[in-house]
Amino acid sequence: MRRERAAQILWVGFMAWVFYAALGPAPEGPEIPHLDKLMHALCWGFMAALCLVAYPGKWRMALGVSAVHGGLTEVMQGTLVQGRSAEWLDWAADLLGAVIVVASVSWARRRQESAA
């Protein structure tokens, strides 16, 4: 129970941090092709993983919240933040990261249950 509560706090905190980071100025650095898509997939995959630790077995919730959060982030970047734009491919990378994590965790749990 303590682990789930700690994961819930981390999950909500991480989602808030992602909003904060996404609504600030765009990060500067070297132009590496598609690095931003990888970062999107990693962030939203981690978000889905935290959700699965906070709410074990709630894979629909992990995917749904990740999808809505990613979509809202892109809409807010496109409408509220100067110097940023909304990109559907960023949202697709968010979803891909969440799907990969949820599918991997699901597969690992099924495999563990069948071995027991």
Report the chain's mean pLDDT, rounded to a whole number. Answer: 93
In order of 3, 50, 51, 67, 113, the CA distances from 110 in angstroms are 21, 19, 18, 24, 5
Q: Structural domain of residue 80, as residue ranges?
A: 2-26+35-115
Tell me the whole-structure pTM to 2 decimals.
0.90
CA 95 to chain centre: 8
Of residues 70 and 110, which shows the higher confidence score?
70
What number is the average pLDDT over the span 15-44?
A: 90
Residue among 4, 110, 116 nearest 52 (CA): 4
Total structural domains within the chain: 1
* Cβ contact 17:46 at 8 Å: no
Instruction: Output the six-digit token pair for 34.
Output: 């598609």
pLDDT the model gives residue 82 = 85
Model confidence at 100, in pLDDT bands (50, 70, 90)?
very high
Element (H, E) at 83: none
Residue among 55, 51, 57, 60 nearest 18 (CA): 51
d(C-alpha 91, C-alpha 41), whole Å: 9
